[in-house]
Structure 1
Amino acid sequence: MKRHFLIGIGLAVATAGSLHAQEPVVSVNGDVLTQQQFDQALDQRTQGRSGQLPDAQKRQFLQQLVDLQLLAQMAEGRGIADDPAVQAELANTRRAVLARGLIERISEEQVSDEEIQAAYDEQYAEQSGGEEFKARHILVEEESTAESLIAELDDGADFAALAQEHSTGPTGERGGDLGWFNPEQMVPAFSEAVAALEPGRYSSEPVETQFGWHVIQLEDVRKAEPPKLEEVRGELEQRIAQRKIQQMVQERRESAEIDYQADWANE
């Protein structure tokens, strides 16, 4: 684990300096650590909260980076950088950093309002005009148990109280309350049984699914309304960016010269 961390920090120090002409923070035996390198390493350590740290903690972290640089220099002196395993790890890390950098830049590119609207229509058009249900259920293992519960309901028992006492499902403790849901969220047999009920009524026969036997009570029905576009804009922008990245990789794959040389890598 320590070697992974040293290599990760060492790579950040080595690559950032070649890409950014920044003011130096410290020089260790002639190797310069720039402000850009320091900020990147500190952001990585603090998960982006470096701006909240007092100068004393920043100085403490700087001393850790100096120690890392000294260790890296000693490793270089011993020829560790020529070790095939170390070279492989450095190459893999460099590849991952470059790929992540490209993905971040593509994700930050402006997504047009037309693209967002099209993605919104594609994802949420089916929700418009449909129905959502609010229901409770009691889940038990045996059909006979479900039949007994229906008989108790026929005699005036409270559905929520029976669910709390008998249901084996995760909603039992809250009286079997499933909240609002659309039919696609439930298995077909359950959704069909709910749709056949009138609000306020419960199933007259047990409903079987792969989870067991259900007694279902429909409480209410409403027209399904999709979320407002602004509520899901961020999610849509991310999805569009991911799609662009996938398309870009696929196009590059189709034009690239890829030669699988290991025997096991070929079908």
Structure 2
Amino acid sequence: MKKYLILLLLAFAATTAGAAGPTKKPAAEKTPAAPAEKALLHVNGVAIPEIDAKIAISDRQNAGQQNTPALQNLVRNQLIARELFAQQARKAGLDKNAVLLARQRMAHEELLARAYQEEFLSRNKPDDAAVRKEYEALKARGGDKEYRIRHILTASEEDAKVLLVRLKTGERFAEVAAQSTEEASRGNGGDIGWQTPLSLQPQFVDVVTALAKGQFTQQPVKGPGGWHLIQVDDIRPFTMPAFDDKVQGQLRAALTRRVLDAHLAELAKTAKVGP
């Protein structure tokens, strides 16, 4: 979280510096200037903040690298190269390029969004009891079976309903999927292989486990990417894996995503979206 807050402050400073003109105040109202950010080095007189190097090294440590003198020297050289190229870009007027300015704004918004997600999840993350409850629920909802599934994805509910009519009139699911799906599984007639309640998206678990062999959903199902039609080709026995660290990690990730999706849905309800 601290890393993102630092990045946000840097991005905000870059986008707001010089945006407003100086405001004159009586001498008595002046406040002491904030201490200048410590510079790691200067390139043609331009300061490279020490915090830039700290962030770059921290990112590499998070990726598994050790903080060694060699890494510090590598980061130093990369920051110098970045500044040299950036100075040339400014000389060429690229800092006023509309596309680059848009990308800067988008990056700033992305950092803000990620920072908020992390902050929100730090207050709402699933606890151990919730993970155990989800495991037991999945076990009860078909945890002793594995399902061979075919699947069709459409962008709209209307498109899915058109395809559903074809399925109900007797067309084979694989043929309709091969012609209609928007995913890479199209070449396999929509076949996405054997799935368990653990591997399925939460909104699909009850849908799949309610189907018998050879049956398909009678209504489109809303899910990631659009609207889904699902057919169960086969069912076989399955032993639910033990409640170990791997399974707990999978369930915690799924619950976390569900919490975030639910929060986004609540925000969307009150959002004013329009041209």
Structure 2-normalised TM-score? Answer: 0.47
Tell which structure's C-alpha radius of gyration is larger: 1
Structure 1-normalised TM-score? Answer: 0.49
